[in-house]
């Protein structure tokens, strides 16, 4: 009877293993995601980029509208009877400069919209790079936390065995259990943060936050920093936000010319029919004389001039903002590079050697669990610090590339 039960149990376990393996084979693996692939996906279909492209199309359509003459005016002058009513059609030719000024403003707004599209593109790349590095850091911190739990689990089991053998007091068991519980809590928090960062990366790419992927990436190595003067000059030359502001300033200046042109005489074609139901009519050419102004045209000129001056002030403010972003990015990048190098060149190695020495001392009976736990905690913190330092450098590098509109920010 026992033999039959044993055979049945083994068979059930075997069938369960086959079912699990089959399910694993049937479940497709999540596609790998590198930084370049993440940027490619984002630029291929990000909603913000599509919206900016529509703004460009709208601005180009406005140019065609600006080239067209204004709609003609049809005036019906009623008289005593319908037959006596007069019909007049007026068409302004805008030879006073209004047409050219309107077209110039529309074309400048096309340039502004195109620059804003490029700014949106670079902002998407920056957002993806930052989110990618944050997700990579969270993933690596989760792995470090998992390794800490695994090690503390072994220490706790060893402490329990030593206590049961009468070699150590129960306090060692309690201490390792407390440390194991703390490490487990940190692992759970790290898992939650990793999941949140993965969702944020999906959102930065412009897709469903729950889209599965397998993250693959490496940290950039610290490089020689550009000098501040060169960086500022590059930003002044390449930042699309400045180009957009400059184009908008040109549009405002053209609108000022447009408002002034409206106060100058213009040529008008006129077609007139003296009687609605009778033959006969006339076609003539007239000149508008906008000298009688109740104040509207003068106000429009002042409004356009004020808008132009306000835009010039905004352009100056944008230049200051770009310079500030360059300075901030350089300062943060320099600090992050120094910290990252300190971890790579000393802190990690020292923490690793300390952990090895304490383990050796414990195995030889010279040290206790407490020293091993403290050394492992120091190693875990060093690894976390190194990950955060690498992430800080990577994010600062991305911020500098964005601040100076580096080609990497526009790929």
Residue 277's pLDDT is what?
58
Query: Which tokens belong to 343?
Result: 């971890």
Other C-beta atoms within 10 Å of 296: how many? 9
Alpha carbons 185 and 177: distance in angstroms, whole number: 12
Set out the domains of the chain in order of their start, with CATH numbers: 39-410 (1.20.1600.10)
- CA 305 centroid distance within chain: 35
Residue 11's pLDDT is what?
43
pTM of the model: 0.80
Query: Which tokens belong to 128?
Result: 């993806």
**32 phi and psi, to 5 degrees?**
-75, 150
Contacts of 19 (CB under 8 A, 6+ apart): none
Report how far apart the first and last C-alpha atoms of the chain are (Å, whole number).
Answer: 71
Residue 94's pLDDT is what?
87
Residue 12's pLDDT is what?
45
Residue 75's pLDDT is what?
81
Query: pLDDT averaged over consecutive 10-residue blocks of the chain (411 residues)?
Result: 44 44 51 94 92 96 93 78 73 90 96 96 96 97 94 88 86 89 95 97 95 93 87 94 97 95 89 68 81 85 96 96 95 94 90 88 78 87 94 95 79 48
Residue pair 67/251 in contact by the 8 Å Cβ criterion: no
């Amino acid at each position: 009877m026992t033999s039959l039960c044993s055979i049945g149990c083994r068979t059930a376990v075997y069938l369960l293993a086959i079912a699990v393996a089959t399910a694993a084979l049937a479940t497709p693996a999540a596609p790998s995601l590198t930084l370049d692939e993440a940027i490619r996906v984002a630029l291929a279909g990000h909603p913000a980029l599509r919206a900016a492209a529509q703004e460009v199309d709208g601005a180009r359509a406005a140019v065609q509208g600006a080239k067209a003459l204004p709609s003609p005016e049809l005036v019906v002058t009623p008289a005593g009877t319908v037959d006596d009513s007069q019909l007049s059609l007026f068409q302004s030719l805008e030879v006073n400069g209004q047409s050219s000024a309107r077209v110039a403003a529309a074309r400048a707004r096309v340039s502004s919209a195109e620059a804003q599209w490029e700014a949106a593109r670079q902002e998407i790349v920056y957002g993806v790079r930052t989110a990618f590095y944050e997700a990579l850091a969270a993933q690596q911190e989760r792995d470090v936390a998992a390794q800490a739990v695994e090690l503390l689990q072994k220490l706790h089991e060893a402490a329990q065995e030593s206590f049961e053998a009468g070699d150590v007091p129960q306090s060692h068991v309690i201490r390792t259990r407390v440390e194991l519980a703390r490490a487990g809590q940190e692992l759970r928090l790290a898992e939650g943060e990793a999941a949140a960062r993965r969702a944020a990366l999906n959102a930065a790419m412009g897709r469903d936050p729950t889209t599965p992927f397998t993250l693959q990436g490496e940290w950039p190595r610290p490089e020689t920093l550009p000098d501040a003067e060169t960086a500022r000059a590059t930003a002044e030359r390449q930042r699309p936000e400045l180009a957009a502001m400059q184009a908008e300033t040109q549009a405002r200046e053209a609108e000022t010319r447009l408002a002034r042109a409206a106060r100058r005489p213009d040529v008008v074609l006129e077609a007139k029919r003296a009687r609605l139901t009778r033959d006969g009519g006339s076609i003539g050419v007239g000149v508008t004389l906008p000298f009688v102004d109740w104040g509207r045209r003068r106000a429009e000129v002042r409004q356009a001039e004020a808008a132009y001056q306000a835009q010039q002030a905004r352009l100056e403010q944008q230049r200051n903002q770009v310079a500030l972003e360059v300075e901030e990015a350089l300062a943060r990048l320099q600090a992050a590079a120094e910290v990252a190098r300190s971890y790579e060149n000393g802190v990690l190695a020292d923490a690793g050697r300390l952990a090895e020495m304490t383990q050796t001392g414990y195995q030889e009976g010279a040290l206790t669990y407490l020293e091993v736990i403290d050394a492992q905690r120091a190693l875990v913190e060093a690894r976390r610090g190194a990950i955060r330092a690498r992430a800080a450098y990577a994010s600062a590098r991305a911020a500098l590339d964005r601040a100076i509109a580096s080609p990497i920010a526009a790929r």
